[in-house]
Amino acid sequence: MRLTVKSEYGLLAMIDLACRVDEGPVSSREISDRQGIPGKYLEQLFVALRRAGLVGAVRGARGGFTLGRPAAEITVLDIVEALEGSLRPTVCDGERAAVCGRGDACAAADVWERATAAVRGVLESTTISSLARTQVVLDETASTIEPSAGRQD
């Protein structure tokens, strides 16, 4: 189980799209500028997200990206797995398990499986819709705080 900057940036981009779902297609440059994601990197992420059906692209002067399906149907797990691959333990799986040779005779294996299940549960139960609603509230709160508030001159 590895979560990298791909997941972080991909999630930020998807929340940005969900916050602007009623505005039509959003350019990758706008998302890049708002979220501080390098433009070329964001384009690569959108290729993978598009392949997974999570975003759509509209060409033309007013083109950009849209959500591939309703925000309430897109989970954080969908995004992570589209960008990182299947979420599974990194310690007791694949090549490492073959090299280790302990298989079912390892007390730590159960811990890694439970940890992965817990992370998977959180990511699977969190939708882009809920994160977008939270982001809107956070943005509104931030905009009502005066820049000079708390400063002592």
CA distance 152 to 41: 40
pLDDT in tens, 87-131: 776 666 655 556 666 666 778 878 888 888 899 999 999 999 999
Question: What whole-number distance in Å separates Cα of residue 16 and Cα of residue 128?
Answer: 9
Q: Which helix (H) or strand (E) holds 57?
A: strand 55-58
pLDDT given for residue 70 in this prediction: 97
Residue 152 confidence (pLDDT) above 60? no
Average confidence (pLDDT) over 138-150? 76
Residue 76, number of CB atoms within 10 A of its CB: 21
Instruction: For the chain, list the domains and their CATH numbers.
Output: 5-144 (1.10.10.10)
**Which pTM value belongs to this model?**
0.83
pLDDT at 69: 96
- Find the mean pLDDT for residues 35-43: 96
Does residue 147 register a pLDDT over 90? no
Dist. CA 22–CA 1, nearest whole Å:
34
Residue-level pLDDT at 151:
53
| Tokens describing residue 76 | 């954080």
